[in-house]
Amino acid sequence: MAAGPALVDEKRALRGELRARRDRLDPEERARAAREVCAALLLLPEVASARVLAAFVPTRGEIDVSAAVAAGAAAGARIAYPRVSEIGRAACRAR
């Protein structure tokens, strides 16, 4: 089901507002939050026992979960990152 123009505009505005909030965070606060999120992720049984973890490379102030990804890889999980090969076409590839 396709979203109507009003919903698309609303989602765009919300993403912009959330990005602005992230941009206002102090770098130390951002780093602390990333450490806490990574620690919480690693406590999840689904993550601890995963053979494949889907991950992302943070951009534009997104939370950095690279410590959790590195821990998963060290524990033997394959890591799958999204890859955009064409505009509008995305796929995941494990390495």
Q: pLDDT digit string (tens) for 19-60?
A: 999 889 999 999 999 999 999 999 999 999 999 999 999 988
pLDDT at 41: 96
- Is residue 72 within 8 A of residue 48, CB to CB? The reply is no
pLDDT at 93: 60
pLDDT at 50: 96
What gap in Å lies between CA 39 and CA 67, rounded to an integer?
A: 9
pTM: 0.73
Q: Which residues contact 33 (CB under 8 A, 6 or more apart)?
A: 25, 63
- Report, as an integer, the average pLDDT of 76-92: 79
What is the CA angle 63-69-75, rounded to 5?
A: 155
Q: How confident is the model at residue 61 (pLDDT cuts 50, 70, 90)?
A: confident
**Which of 19, 84, 83, 88 has the alpha carbon at shortest distance from 54?**
83
